[in-house]
Structure 1
Amino acid sequence: MRISDMRLLDVVNIKDGRRLGPIKDLDLDLEKGVVKGMVVSGPARSSWGLFGGGKPEDFMIPWERVKKIGVDVILVDAHDLPEYHSENDDRR
């Protein structure tokens, strides 16, 4: 699969079924020729503005957390990553 094809897929957390956002970038180790992780746009942070749409924060998902790459989605295990916590996450 090409990187350009992967960017079209939704990234979904297998622990709660939540859509994490699109892949923005891949972290590559060019010396070893391996993918170290993927950068994903996280959930929007709430703001006190009129429309309540805070800017999403990017976070890294290590490649070993990728569980399955399917036709429509990439399934990842992101439940305990320190970078990923949504406003309604009760595991904090």
Structure 2
Amino acid sequence: MDENIKFYSDMERYEIINVNDGNKFNFLGNNDIIVDSEGILKMLILNDGKSRFSIFGKSEFIEVPWEYVKKIGTKTIIIDVDEKSLKKVR
């Protein structure tokens, strides 16, 4: 098997870190990945741990296009994106 292949089951415990500002976004298993119909990774959907829960219990999420993923290491996923470039959704 190709040693460059990484299984999602192994990557669930990888921590996501933005090197642009040092923010940590928990582990991949606590977030989502969007994959298109051809199997191409398109976007990370990250739980915004800094957002306050509203009265109605809605959480905020951050959409990170896959081009901002710079490296998948042995225990981390490194993204490099300015906060102004991120799209926050509920």
Q: Same fold (TM over 0.5)?
A: yes
Aligned-pair distance for 1:22?
2.6
Aligned-pair distance for 1:56?
4.9
Kept after mapping to 1: 8 A contact 2:48/2:61: yes
Amino acid at match of 1:27: I
Residue 83 in structure 1 maps to residue 87 in structure 2: yes
Residue 37 in structure 1 maps to residue 40 in structure 2: no
Residue 28 in structure 1 maps to residue 35 in structure 2: yes
Q: Tell me, which stretches of 5 or more residues in structure 2 are unaligned?
A: 1-5
SS at match of 2:67: helix
Residue 2 in structure 1 maps to residue 7 in structure 2: yes
Name whichever structure is richer in strand by fraction.
1
Residue 66 in structure 1 maps to residue 72 in structure 2: no
Distance 1:14 1:2, change over 3 A: same
Identity over aligned pairs, percent:
30
| Superposition RMSD in Å | 2.4
Residues 47-75 of structure 1 show CA distances to partners (whole Å, capped at 9, x for unaligned) of 6xxxxxx9752222111110011111111
TM-score (norm 2): 0.69
2:3 paired residue number: none
Report the count of equivalent residues: 79
